[in-house]
Amino acid sequence: METSAQQTIAIPKGFRASGVKCGIKASGNLDLALIVSDYPCFAAGTFTLNRVAAAPVQWDRALVPAREMRGVVVNAGNANAATGHQGLINAAKMAELAAGVVGCESRQMLVASTGVIGHQLPMEKIKAGIIAAHAVLTSDPSGFDAASHAIMTTDTVAKVVGATMTASTGEVVRIMGLCKGAAMIGPRMATMLGFVVTDARLPESILQEQLSAIVDDTFNCISVEGHASTNDTVLLLANGQANATALEGEDIALFQGALREVCESLAKMIPGDGEGATHRITIDVRGCKDRKEAMAIARAVADSALVKTAIHGADPNWGRIVSAAGYAGVEFQESEMSLWLNGFPLYQQGTPLAFDAAEVSSNIRESRETHILLQFDRGQSRIRFWTCDLTAEYIHLNADYTT
Amino acid sequence: METSAQQTIAIPKGFRASGVKCGIKASGNLDLALIVSDYPCFAAGTFTLNRVAAAPVQWDRALVPAREMRGVVVNAGNANAATGHQGLINAAKMAELAAGVVGCESRQMLVASTGVIGHQLPMEKIKAGIIAAHAVLTSDPSGFDAASHAIMTTDTVAKVVGATMTASTGEVVRIMGLCKGAAMIGPRMATMLGFVVTDARLPESILQEQLSAIVDDTFNCISVEGHASTNDTVLLLANGQANATALEGEDIALFQGALREVCESLAKMIPGDGEGATHRITIDVRGCKDRKEAMAIARAVADSALVKTAIHGADPNWGRIVSAAGYAGVEFQESEMSLWLNGFPLYQQGTPLAFDAAEVSSNIRESRETHILLQFDRGQSRIRFWTCDLTAEYIHLNADYTT
């Protein structure tokens, strides 16, 4: 799998992209992205379950899954969320403007927004941005690179991943994904903005099903501070230009594996770039009765400020981890739980183990990657979850530098 | 109501207390408290629902509600939590040692611990501390003042509240409570350590019922970072020395009101003294279908790092508040929600209102108290919840200064 858009990712056939500056971000950086397929696509999507769903989420949710889609227009710097009826009018207008330049109907364009909540979109800037973005659309990787930068807010790195698979017919299928997100990350059944495009041709019914299942294991298994956004959206566009007839049999499983690889790589990049983070924390919860139990425990540990600050301080204060598991709402017995931190066994079936605190502490300090393994004796279900530590820099970014 | 133990709180008849240094806290501060009734008490209690319940919680939970109780022994600096079978032996031994000096049976003594998780209690220090504490037991307010300091961990102020009521017989009943807590505060059905003593005589069946109901509205409606502790415990001891026959009729309601006043005042002190906090935040959620809805929304807003950092930065970034409400799991419509921040209307029935951001910001900055009112159009249920802001000092306290 390749992870740099600019140089090495194979762009799926028939897709073009661009990113331009239209003046929404105060910084003057790229803030409007356009991704277009020259051929009608099948589109699948997953969206935030937040009751305060942004206007663009409401637009997309009403459309997908759908055939005949042509692309997506995205702005950063303004979330178009909690904006009432005017927000819905603006999201529809944004789709209409993009459809106008692309040459299709409004209902063939998807829309996404990210940024501050509660402000109306500056529609004149959006309009000028869409015209400018259309003028520089390109199938060259540089267009996708610009798009991946234009969707960033407080992200410090652009997040782009690609994968290819060779079908049993010998046809090569390309998958490429981009996403953004560094805070307000606590997806429930969806995530921050993620866009995956592919030139694969598959039975349509399978795409939404595959995307939903994969998002559950990837974008739904990350958090920064656990605050579920109003704008979480993952869209998959498939235009079928790579292969003449739809994939079938083992090729479908092969495609699903490649799609999962792209989504997991993108998802992990978000806590890896969490606001102010100094550690990415991978949490493995194993031996649970079912996935729901494992997820509840992983999320409780991931979202505990005390666990996050302990890792930041390289403090092997494992009591914070087991106590977070304890309030996850899962009725386990302490004797069913064991804990490893970066491979060091600290707690076994309800009893603390002797360990060298200085050794574990320097082990945490020396790497950006931290690994927590909570093993239960309750069943066979497991989950992997990714989060990051909580630092004073996160506080400064969110207390001192906003509005 | 009076709020300073040393000078003005009336000590309930027949109770004595003390606090001593036994060497558990590295700081050398007071760390062992003893509260004793010279007469058998009726005891009620509420405890953490964390599955990793500390050994002292398991000891107490097995005993209360109960008659014939004589008191409680408490240590700070070590939580005796996640300590396996040896932890249970040590909690029982702590009760036995206290019973020995008081002159009663082990099952007449309650036990509480707070501090670091996962270390065995230093029993020799506990034993010496109990003997020393017994030697200085006093019914003078100074004894309760020492006890209130001995149960502190990172608390910066001791938390003591008293109330009196006059029964229709003319008899005066005294209630006095003390508590501790500054972090790992996210009680579910219980709270951090809280001890309430009264000389009231009531029908026994009523005490546990009253305490449970009141704790639900007070200690269960606070958070610092939302991490539910392994040691949360509230105990109520009533020795009946104030009044000859049990309270009845309106006197019971009067007592309940006084008990509620004590518990609410104590509970509010905890987020008011939250680690590193610069604002106490009172969250009123009104107009919900039921209490569960209101509680879920209040807790989601209270535990959002983005809401807490916005208040710390005096940033009227109200989108963070409504979006936190949106992921609380309550299926409201945006058009049912309105928001006031420190009395300023910011969002009305799903639509943002124009407001002077600089004015609201300086209003937040100028006071330690912040008020959030979320009004829904769904029903008549309401809740009040207290939390605090999240600051870089909280991060430093939990990342850099522990273990």
Interchain pair B399, A310: CB under 8 A: yes
Closest partner residue to A395 among B116, B326, B392, by Cβ? B392
Return the pLDDT at A186.
82
Does A123 lie in the same domain as A66?
Answer: yes
Can you give the pLDDT at residue B188? 64
Nearest CA in chain B to A333: B51
Look at residue A202 and tell me whether its pLDDT is greater than 50: yes
For residue B225, the domain's CATH number is 3.60.70.12
Residues B346 and B215 placed together within one structural domain of the fold: no
Domain shared by B224 and B295, yes or no = no
Classify residue B168 as exposed, middle or buried by CB count within 10 Å of its CB (0-12, 13-18, 19+).
exposed
Residues A63 and A108 in one domain: yes
Retrieve residue A401's tokens. 């530098």
Distance from CA of A80 to the nearest CA of B (A): 11
CA distance B20 to chain A (A): 27
Q: Are residues B84 and B137 in the same domain?
A: yes
Among candidate residues A272, A296, A331, the one where a domain is terminated: A272
Number of domains into which chain A is organized: 2
Mean pLDDT of chain A: 92
**How close A367 gets to chain B, by Cα (Å)?**
16
Q: d(Cα B219, Cα B302) in Å, to the nearest integer?
A: 14
By CA distance, what is A313's nearest residue in B?
A: B399
Give residue A224's identity as a one-letter amino acid code.
V
Q: Chain B residues with CB inside 8 Å of A322's CB?
A: 52, 82, 117-118
Residues A217 and A94 placed together within one structural domain of the fold: yes
Q: CB–CB of A312 and B186 under 8 A?
A: no
Determine, yes or no, domain membership for A10: no
Closest-CA distance, B212 to chain A, in angstroms, reads 19
**pLDDT tens-digit readout, B326-368:** 999 999 999 999 999 999 999 999 999 999 999 999 999 999 9
Among the three residues A272, A297, A324, which one is the final residue of a domain in this structure?
A272
* Chain A residue with the nearest C-alpha to that of B115: A319
Residue B51 lies in a domain: yes
pLDDT range class, residue A188, cuts 50, 70, 90: low
Residues B46, B114, B191, B233: which is the catalytic one?
B191
d(CA A229, CA A222): 13
Q: By three-state DSSP, how is residue B13 classified?
A: coil
Q: Say if residue A93 is in the same domain as residue A215.
A: yes
Q: What amino acid positions of A are annotated as catalytic residues?
A: 191
Nearest residue in chain A measured CA to CA from B49: A327
Length of chain B: 403
Residue B382: its H or E element: strand B381-388
Contact flag B398-A330 (C-beta cutoff 8 Å): no
Residue B9: inside a domain: no
Domain-terminating residue out of A245, A272, A299:
A272
Residue B303 included in any domain: yes
Residue A382 in any domain: the answer is: yes
In a shared domain, residues A289 and A252: no
| Residue ranges making up the domain that contains A354 | 280-399
Label residue A203 by pLDDT band (50, 70, 90).
confident
Q: Do B319 and A226 touch (CB under 8 A)?
A: no
Contact between chains at B395 and A392 (C-beta distance less than 8 A): yes
Residue type present at position B302: A
Asked if residue A349 belongs to a domain, the reply is yes
For an interface test with A, give the residue of B51, B279, B347 to mutate (most A CBs within 10 A): B51
Nearest CB partner across the interface for B318, out of A118, A332, A400: A118
pLDDT at A34 over 60: yes
3-state secondary structure chain A: CECCCCCCCCCCCCEEEEEECCCCCCCCCCCEEEEEEEEEEEEEEEECCCCCCCHHHHHHHHHCCEEEEEEEEEEEEECCCCCHHHHHHHHHHHHHHHHHHHCCCHHHEEEEEEEECCCCCCHHHHHHHHHHHHHCCECCHHHHHHHHHHCCCCCCCCEEEEEEEECCCCCEEEEEEEECCCCCCCCCCCCCEEEEEECCCCCHHHHHHHHHHHHHHCHHHECCCCCCCCCCEEEEEECCCCCCCCCCCHHHHHHHHHHHHHHHHHHHHHHHCCCCCCCEEEEEEEEECCHHHHHHHHHHHHCCHHHHHHHHCCCCCCHHHHHHHHCCCCCCCHHHEEEEECCEEEEECCEECCCCHHHHHHHHHCCCEEEEEEEECCCCEEEEEEEECCCHHHHHHHHCCCC
Taking CB atoms and an 8 Å limit, are B398 and A305 in contact across chains? yes
Q: Is residue A6 part of a domain?
A: no
B297 and B385 together in one domain: yes
Contact at 8 Å (CB) between B193 and B181? yes
In-domain check, residue A7: no
Evaluate if residue B201 carries a pLDDT over 80: yes
Lowest-confidence region among B57-71, B220-234, B369-383: B220-234
Q: Is B2's pLDDT higher than 80?
A: no
Integer Cα distance of A171 and A246 in angstroms: 11
Tell which of B275, B327, B388 to mutate to test the A interface (max A CBs under 10 Å): B327
Residue B391 is among the residues annotated as catalytic for this protein? no
What ipTM was predicted for this assembly? 0.85
Q: Which residue has the higher pLDDT, A240 or B205?
A: A240
The torsion defined by the Cα of B213, B215, B217 and B221, in degrees rounded to 10, comes to: -150
Chain B CB contacts of A326 under 8 Å are 50-53, 228, 230
**Do A205 and A315 reside in the same domain of the chain?**
no
Angstroms from B375 CA to nearest CA on chain A: 15
CATH number (domain holding residue B303): 3.10.20.340
Select from A84, A325, A347 the Cβ nearest to the Cβ of B350: A84
Interface test with A, best of B48, B49, B52, B332 (most A CBs within 10 A): B52
Q: Do B52 and A313 touch (CB under 8 A)?
A: no
> Please, which pLDDT band fits residue B255 given cuts at 50, 70 and 90?
very high
pLDDT of residue A136 exceeding 90, the answer is: yes
Q: Same structural domain for residues B181 and B32?
A: yes
pLDDT at B250 over 50: yes
CB–CB contact A82 B186 (8 Å): no
Are residues A303 and A265 part of one domain?
no
What average pLDDT does this structure show over A178-186? Answer: 86
B82 vs A227, A330, A334: nearest CB: A334
The total number of residues shown for chain A amounts to 403
Contact B392 A390 (CB under 8 A): no
The amino acid at residue B128 is A
Q: Is B245 exposed, middle or buried (0-12, 13-18, 19+ CB in 10 A)?
A: exposed
Mean pLDDT (whole number) for B243-264: 91
Residues B61-95 have pLDDT tens digits of 999 999 899 999 999 999 999 999 999 999 999 99
Average pLDDT over residues A104-115: 95
Chain B residue with CA closest to A351: the answer is B84
Question: CA of A29, closest CA in chain B: separation in Å?
Answer: 22
Query: Which residue type occupies B291?
Result: R
DSSP type of residue B10: P
* Contacting residues of A for B392, CB less than 8 Å apart: 392, 395-396
Contact assignment for A315 to B399 by CB distance below 8 Å = yes
